Amino acid sequence: MAILTVDQLAQLRRECAQEQATINYEKSQINVAIQAVEDTFEAVRPTLSTNINTATAPLVLTAAQKRLLVKMWLQQKARRE
């Protein structure tokens, strides 16, 4: 489990707040929600990497390419929902 730093949490809180007209939660509540997302992603990261490798075999994407792929997918997913 990767624990986010105070600065990382603050940056994510600011980014979330910029996207909302009203903030109806406490700082501590959004902190634990952000940490839950971090924990979940770190738990599935190895499986995600393996699944990408299996799907693209014999090509193996670099870690940077996988990060970019996940970033772009998350951004598109957010726009669709």
pLDDT in tens, 2-19: 789 999 999 999 998 998
Q: Report pTM.
A: 0.79
What are the structural domain ranges in the chain? Answer: 6-80
Measured from the Cβ of residue 13, the count of other Cβ atoms closer than 10 Å reads 17
pLDDT for 72 beyond 90? yes
**Is-contact 35 3, C-beta < 8 A?**
yes
The mean pLDDT of 57-63, rounded to a whole number, is 96
